[in-house]
Chain A
């Protein structure tokens, strides 16, 4: 049983560019949450998707957007990249009931130069 997978593993982008990160949830899970973890900090909640809609959103600008597909996989898009967007981006999957454990993927490390 595959766990949560994310791609790519690492990514280097230039300021102003756009990036798309991908996540496939654990089998049986239909809810995907995205977190940003800056160096030396704990993960910060970006948003959560289920039923192909954004259900909850953290304190992130509109440059951060997402999508969920019918197979429950998800994408995180960031436009107009800033140096401060450099971080580890983590995807977590869970069941919609919100009570089950959230399982994290290995993350995508984004560096903006």
Chain B
């Protein structure tokens, strides 16, 4: 079983739609979680950190449930520019802060 698992998609949605990505993790040593965005053939870039209390950044909302080992990302009012691959990531600080990535979920927002 992979340490971080995501639905690979692709998710094809119209502009303005709300889309939700889910992620589960199996390594309880992972201490922090993040969502990264990766555009085609580019490097991953940090989108937002994920907290148990939930956190929101504009149209993006992330949530962590440690009991269920479940992470989510909600995108409201999708824009064409949101088209990318979204990577769910865990971080293990007692191992030098190494990042453990899910395989990514591809999102395509259509006009």
Give me the interface of A with B, judged by CB distance under 8 Å: 31, 33, 35, 40-45, 48, 50, 55-56, 58, 88, 90, 92, 94, 98-99, 101-102, 104-107, 109
The residues of A that contact B41 with a CB separation of less than 8 Å are 88, 109
Residue in A48, A58, A98 whose CB lies within 8 Å of B93: A98
Verify B93–A90 contact, CB threshold 8 A.
Answer: no
**How many angstroms from the CA of A56 to the CA of B45 in the assembled complex?**
22
Among B41, B93, B95, B102: residue with most chain A CB under 10 A? B95
A45 and B100 contact, Cβ closer than 8 Å, known pairs A56-B95, A98-B93, A99-B93: yes
A94 CB to nearest B CB, Å: 7
B1 at the interface (CB under 8 A from A): no
**How many angstroms from the CA of A98 to the CA of B15 in the assembled complex?**
38
Verify B99–A43 contact, CB threshold 8 A.
Answer: yes
The residues of B that contact A88 with a CB separation of less than 8 Å are 41
Instruction: Tell me whether chain A's interface is mostly helix, strand or loop, or mixed.
Output: strand
4 closest A-B pairs by beta carbon, nearest first, are A42-B101, A98-B97, A104-B43, A56-B96
Verify A90–B97 contact, CB threshold 8 A.
Answer: no
- Contact mask B96-111 → A, CB, 8 Å, 1/0? 1111111110000000
Residue in A45, A50, A104, A107 whose CB lies within 8 Å of B98: A45
Residue in B8, B45, B93, B101 whose CB lies within 8 Å of A43: B101
B87 at the interface (CB under 8 A from A): yes
Verify A90–B43 contact, CB threshold 8 A.
Answer: yes
- Contact mask B33-73 → A, CB, 8 Å, 1/0? 00000000111111000000000000000000000000000
The residues of A that contact B99 with a CB separation of less than 8 Å are 33, 35, 43, 45, 92, 102
A94 and B44 contact, Cβ closer than 8 Å, known pairs A40-B103, A42-B102: no
The residues of A that contact B102 with a CB separation of less than 8 Å are 42
Instruction: List 19 interface pairs A-B (beta carbons < 8 Å), by A numbering.
Output: A31-B97, A42-B4, A42-B102, A43-B99, A43-B101, A44-B101, A45-B98, A45-B99, A48-B98, A50-B96, A90-B44, A98-B96, A99-B97, A101-B46, A102-B99, A104-B45, A105-B43, A106-B43, A109-B41
